[in-house]
Structure 1
Amino acid sequence: MGETATDVTAVNSGTVRKYLSEMGPSWIAGAIAAGPATMASLITAGALFGYTLLWVVILSAVAGTLAQYLAMRLGLLTEQGIVSVVQEHLGEWWAWILVLDVVIAAGVAQLVIMNTVASVSATITGLDARIWGVIWAVVLALGLAGRGYRFLELAAKALVTAVVLTFVASLFVVSVDAGNVVDGLTLSVPTGSALVAAGILGGAVHITLITMHSYTMRARGWTQREYGLATFDVGASMFVAFGIYSVAIFLVAASVLSDPNLTTVGAAQALGPLVGESAKWLFLLGLGGAAVSTLGGNTIVPPYLLADKLGWDTTVDDTRYRGLLTAVALLSAPGAFIGGEVIGQLVLVLALGTVGTPFAIAVVLYLLNSEAVPKSNSTLANVGGLALLFVSGALAANFVRELVAGGLTALSGFVLAFAGILGFATVILLGKYGREELVG
């Protein structure tokens, strides 16, 4: 995709200590990635298939890091929100497709994540989950709309760090089979694992994470001068923190749990009689922290893109954006009234996000190889991006095929239509780039 250009030096100044103190935007993406939906996929994978899908878990951390790196490049090199860049260089219809893609994926996820947060809160406290749904919605509205981006960033860094440490601690109280771990690194796709594999990868390579990055960096005032810091930020949050989180949860599930019908809360409770109450409470508290951090991060995504498309500022200083943020936060409350077993809902949410992700990756790759940026993508970055596009597209196609094979329902029909529209848009976009290269 385009000619090779000299890439911006990733780390050209400063120290690791300085970077550690100044990093932040990618941790919000990490907070969303390291959430209950990813946990549900990891628990399901471990309980159903043992250690077999460990390679997918590791691949997800690598793929998530690469996806965020590409999103980071686009945000820093354009110094604009992704919707503005798409509208300027592709057109208004393309911008609206991207916005609607994100709003649908993030909106559905918001309701299911709230269901999880409320369920965990109810399990810990004994207070009705529906009451917790209302409480958390109000907390979200007051915290995000009242205090803005910096509040969310500080909370994300603290919660993600605590959650990672919690799950690493729970890993030490179970017995992990080293031989099975090695076997799990062998590429193998068991029958019936397409949905779970899509869920695992979807937790790391998700349209909400890719599209939000330009806005969180703008909130910090980062420009091309912070390229090294931004690269470090992505690596620390997605590859290190998210990678450790995913592997720890998966190994706990694969080592101890064997019930494919477990809920996320049920998984924590099942650890009690199996390996002790300490593991149960560590897992439950980790789940609660992950759910809260994901809920907060996911809340800001639709308002960011909608505000940018409507030409509004994307900070709480703009009352219109603040109103959008408040509305999304309060509209999360009905999620607590959904009921049912959340683990299946969470895996489905991630898989649905995977359906919308190839289009977002194609948009980012197109823009990174166009006049939108002063420095085109390197060949290595393009190869990695195309690999992401292929893998996410294949997983999305497998998920849709598996869902439709179970019978055409209202849900599968919606997913099929959603996938069809975005798949068509992705093909058109790639064809548009090919024609421009041939003409050029």
Structure 2
Amino acid sequence: MSEMTGETGVQSGTARGYLSEMGPSWVAGAIAAGPASMASLITAGAGFGYSLLWVVLLSAVAGTVAQYLAMRLGLLSGQGIVTLVESYLGESWAWILVVDVVVAAGVAQLVIMKTVASVSATITGIDARIWGVIWAVILLAGLAGRGYRFLELAAKALVAAVVLAFVASAFIVPIDAGSAVQGLIPTLPSNGALVAAGILGGAVHITLITMHSYTMRARGWDESDYGLATFDVIASMLVAFGIYSISIFLVAASVLSDPNLTTVGAAQALGPLVGPNAKWLFLLGLGGAAVSTLGGNTIVPPFVVADKLGWGTTVEDSRYRALLAAFALLSAPGAFIGGQVIGQLVLVLALGTVGTPFAIAVVLYLLNSEAVPKSNATLANAGGVGILLVSGALAANFVRGQIAGGVELLSGAVLAFAVILGVAIVVLLGKYVREEVSVA
């Protein structure tokens, strides 16, 4: 592994060694750099021009900070996040976290499968519903059959290829540098709150935060790998995901002007506008992003459910393997969902944003408790609180927008979900304040 001995950050060890050993954060990056993020970025660029570029940059930074905090928790405690929550907060809190993760990841899985199947159908001409079944079987064989290391290797390869594809697309498309610079000034256009929540939700999402302790355990990392783990987070989230997001956004803002485009439609629209090369690069990038996200997202609910039930979180435990297989197969119905996928993808990310503040609050609480041997640094706490406030504000705006449209089944469910988690955050904050006062 690395030459690190203790918590000293990225200070020693060769870059070549880090590049060859990194991996767990790339699985999170594979989920972040997926079709849902792409849908939000396309919608933002096509609908609002360059004005939300600052949100795109903020999302990469916020995603890096969130993953760094999740990395610290898993690495310094050596346990899965659900076990930690149950040990230091209680069983009810652990179940709230598990339900939060399963709802957010489960809804996302269906829509992501629809995207994968749609892209596969566009490329091959074979019906998307058939592709849904095919990809579900591939997930079953790859993940339940070969385990985490297979997913990690695939994630690194696919994310690298996706980033290259979109960077190439950005070079083909003419970009207005002056307007792009103006987009760095923070402004929120009318009706832009949902899209902004979607962009941030792609980088700071409950599935990414909760999975990290399990993926590092699957690699056998501990505190001595702190420098490697930090490098892993920076390389995958700040660099790879940041370049991915900026490239897609700039392409959409430069030449697309229809906010109702589908993800596949955006790729097809590039053909007559800037040439077939851009179309196929964009389409292949979309396909790679969708496949990598589908695989990464599949492992998240089985991780937290198995941890809550006291099972192993690797395929060596047949119970975990069965959970993984079941979730993989339950992805197939996603290919049969009707409607335009881009709006569904943005909604999925925004819905995830509703569940994310609770996960961040839990991580911050645990990092400042006896769950870890070393207290969180002031700067890390400040970054975490900043993400909590931003994600909370975006979640509140999203919920308000859903209610404004009339409380129906979907908006009512979102509202109930948000209220439960909001109350949980307030109670958790009160618990932390009482403990600090008693110690003082």
Q: What is the TM-score with the length of structure 1 in the denominator?
A: 0.98
Distance 1:334 1:224 in 2: 41
* Separation in 2, partners of 1:96, 1:248: 39
Aligned 8 A contact 2:302 2:320 in 1? yes
Aligned position for 1:254: 253
- 1:349 is aligned to 348
What does the per-residue CA deviation read over 1:259-306, in whole Å, with 9 as the maximum and x for residues that have no partner?
111000000000000000000000000000000000000000000000
| Equivalenced residues, count | 434
Give CA-to-partner distance per residue, 1:294-327, whole Å, 9 cap, x none.
0000000000000000000000000000000000
Contact 2:193 2:398 in 1 (8 A): yes
Contact 2:7 2:224 (8 Å CA) reproduced: no
Where does structure 2 lack aligned partners over 5 or more consecutive residues?
A: 1-5
In 2, Cα distance between equivalents of 1:402 and 1:117: 29
Equivalent position of 2:328 in the other structure: 329
Cα distance in 2 between the residues matched to 1:425 and 1:141: 35
Instruction: Look up the match of 1:78.
Output: 77
The within-5 A match list for 1:110-149 is: 110-149=109-148
1:21-54 per-position Cα deviation (integer Å, ceiling 9, x unaligned): 0000000000000000000000000011000000
Q: What is residue 3 of structure 2 aligned with on the other side?
A: none
Q: Alpha-carbon deviation of 1:339? A: 2.1
Contact 2:31 2:296 in 1 (8 A): yes
**SS of alignment partner, residue 94 of structure 2:** helix
Q: Kindly provide the CA deviation profile for residues 122-144 of structure 1, in whole angstroms up to 9, marking residues without a partner as x.
A: 00000000000000000000000
Aligned to 1:23: 22
Map of 1:55 onto structure 2: 54
* Correspondence 1:141-220 to 2 at 5 A: 141-220=140-219
Give RMSD over aligned pairs: 0.7
Q: Deviations over 1:413-438 (max 9, x none)?
A: 00000000001101100110011111
Which residue type is aligned with residue 397 of structure 2?
N
Q: Separation in 2 of the partners of 1:193 and 1:420?
A: 23
Matched, 1:225 2:224: yes
Whichever residue aligns with residue 391 of structure 1, its letter is V
> Structure 2: how far apart are the matches of 1:304 and 1:246?
27
Q: Shift of the alpha carbon at 1:11?
A: 1.8
> What letter is aligned with 1:245?
Y
CA distance in 1 between counterparts of 2:322 and 2:12 reads 40
* Letter matched to residue 28 of structure 1: V
Measured in 2, the distance between the counterparts of 1:32 and 1:275 equals 29
Q: Partner letter of residue 363 of structure 2?
A: V
* Aligned amino acid, residue 173 of structure 1: I
Q: Map Cα deviations across residues 102-140 of structure 1 (whole Å, 9 max, x no partner).
A: 000000000000000000000000000000000000000
What stretches of structure 1 of length at least 5 have no aligned partner? 1-6
Alignment match, 1:373: 372
Q: Which residue of 2 aligns with 1:297?
A: 296
Post-superposition shift, 1:13?
Answer: 2.6
Contact residue 313 and residue 320 of structure 2 kept, 8 A: yes
Q: Is the 8 A contact 2:75 2:213 kept in 1?
A: yes
The equivalences for 1:343-422 within 5 A come to 343-422=342-421
Structure 2 letter corresponding to 1:92: E
Q: What residue identity is the alignment partner of 2:204?
A: V
- Aligned-residue offset at 1:385: 0.5
Aligned partner letter, 1:86? V
- Structure 1 runs (4+) deviating above 6 angstroms are none
Matched, 1:234 2:249: no
- Shift, 1:408, TM fit: 1.1
User: How far apart in 2 are the matches of 1:289 and 1:123?
Assistant: 14
2-side partners of 1:66 and 1:343: how far apart? 27
Report the 3-state secondary structure (helix = DSSP H, G, I; strand = E; otherwise coil) of the residue aligned with 1:172.
helix
What is the distance in 1 between the residues matched to 2:159 and 2:338?
26
